[in-house]
Amino acid sequence: MKMNKKPFPIATLCNRREQIDERPDYQRPPAWTRGQKQLLIDSILREYDIPKMYWRALPAGQKFKYEVIDGQQRLRTIWEYKDGGFGLPRDADLINGVAVAGLKYADLPLEIASDFDAYPIDVVIVEHAVQTDEEDEVRDMFLRLQNGTTLKAQEKRNAMPGAMRDFVKELAKHAFFGRCGFSAGRYAFDHVAAQTTLLELAGEPANVKDGDLNKMYRNNKTFDASGGPAKKIRRVYDFLLKAFPAKTPELERYSVITLYCLASLLLDRYVTDGVAEKLRQWFIAFETERRSQDTLPEEQRDIQLIEYRRLTSQSTDSEESVRARLEMMERRFFAAYSEIEPRDQRRDFGYEQRLAIYRRDDGTCQVRLKCTGAKVAWENWHADHKLPHIKGGKTTVANGQVACIACNLSKGGAAPAVAAE
């Protein structure tokens, strides 16, 4: 890597802007406030030093001659001011005895505008004699130069080298994200795509905090974007797109994470013909009911939904929160659509089915052959088929019931049902 520092007048930076790519894919979106922009221009007009920029010289034959490694916000601000996009602060002090408060570039006195155009910006041109690993070196330089700035964690991950970064960036372009109620600003789509990727790779609820995502990026630099896990992740997003074909404001970041886990479970274990539409209907009804809690008197509020709200406002990226939200969604979804069948027509009820059955029956034995409706603990009951499995009874929530162990073992003509785990 070879570096050469050159001073470029602002007039040159503006005249040659078509040769400069100020937003390569590892750069964050524009994030400066108007106040930050005004401060930079004011500093230039007063001939204060500003930090140098770093550009990468691109090989011949490309659309641009240079791409900005560091200095994107400053460069865009200079261009915007030159184009008349904003004026100086209305309380700006005099410059060389001249009032400049509120002035846009076109309104500046000629001598001050000339000084602005002639102001030299120090630009370090980064050149590579060898192209091997150049991309990784540039990304590493970007991260080092941003150290100590207000880059968000996902913006930093977007600049990390490796196949995981490329996979997440591509996944964030999935059409499903266009149906969500939140925007792509500050790489929000990439963040959720990374979190759901981690959850799929974990195979269960897990911490999806920034440290965990960073570790995933570092440990999966050779991630196979055409392998089984990647295909499964895309399949889940395709299913979610089928479930939500139109813009759905209720799809917030935390709910997408939980819905992804539920959809992944459904695709793995259950017959999903017609289930996508059921998922959409149920989710919107669930969100409508949840949001209505604030308007109800306290004694009429659903305690579980109040708890769900807490889980979506505190430590939403923790394993505990993800797991609790998923269990609540599973329980309510399978209770609402109790006829959904396992993919392999198995005899055993799945965990999410047992949970829905247990809550629906309030943990009370429904068989009542040896008891009169005993209350049973979660770890001490059987999930029983109302119509026995050997007689064609399906393993669905609708055909399941809570049975105390004594009652279930006393039933004739059928093997014992599976106890709750």
d(CA 98, CA 75) in angstroms, rounded, equals 26
Q: Is the dihedral of CA 298, 300, 304, 309 positive or negative?
A: negative
Q: What contacts 24+ positions apart, CB below 8 Å, involve 285-291?
A: 285/336, 286/329, 286/332, 287/250, 287/255
Nearest to 289 by CA among 250, 335, 345, 316: 250
Q: What per-residue confidence (pLDDT) applies to 23?
A: 75
d(CA 86, CA 41) in angstroms, rounded, equals 10
Q: What per-residue confidence (pLDDT) applies to 138?
A: 61
Q: Taking the CA of residue 157 as centre, how many other CA atoms within 13 Å lie in the half-sphere pointing to its CB?
A: 33
Q: What per-residue confidence (pLDDT) applies to 234?
A: 97
Q: What per-residue confidence (pLDDT) applies to 413?
A: 43
Q: What per-residue confidence (pLDDT) applies to 420?
A: 46
pLDDT tens across 21-49, in order? Answer: 887 765 566 678 899 999 999 999 988 88
- Please report, as a single letter, which amino acid is at residue 223: F
Mapping DSSP to helix (H, G, I), strand (E, B) and coil, where does residue 121 land?
A: strand
Phi, psi of 362 (to 5 degrees): 55, 35
d(CA 269, CA 289) in angstroms, rounded, equals 28
Locus of tokens 């008891």: 371
The answer to whether the beta carbons of residues 310 and 291 sit under 8 Å apart is: no
| pTM of full prediction above 0.85 | no
What is the 8-class DSSP label of residue 98? B
**Would you call 339 exposed, middle or buried from its count of C-beta atoms within 10 A (0-12, 13-18, 19+)?**
exposed
Q: Which two tokens stand for residue 179?
A: 């149906």
Q: Which two tokens stand for residue 290?
A: 């949840």
Strands (DSSP E) contained in 193-282 are none
Residues in the chain where the model's pLDDT stays below 50: 129-132, 148, 413-421
CA 198, distance to chain mean position in Å, is: 11
Nearest to 195 by CA among 260, 280, 269: 260
With a CB cutoff of 8 Å and minimum separation 6, the contacts of 110 are none
Q: What per-residue confidence (pLDDT) applies to 269?
A: 87
| DSSP line for 138-182 | HHHHHHHHHTTS---HHHHHHT--SHHHHHHHHHTTSGGGGGSSS
Q: What per-residue confidence (pLDDT) applies to 151?
A: 53
Q: What per-residue confidence (pLDDT) applies to 28?
A: 61
The answer to whether the beta carbons of residues 397 and 270 sit under 8 Å apart is: no
Q: Which two tokens stand for residue 190?
A: 């990439």
d(CA 9, CA 235) in angstroms, rounded, equals 52
Torsion of CA 102, 103, 109, 113, to 10 degrees: 120
Phi, psi of 377 (to 5 degrees): -75, 155
| DSSP line for 122-140 | EEEEEE-S--TTHHHHHHH
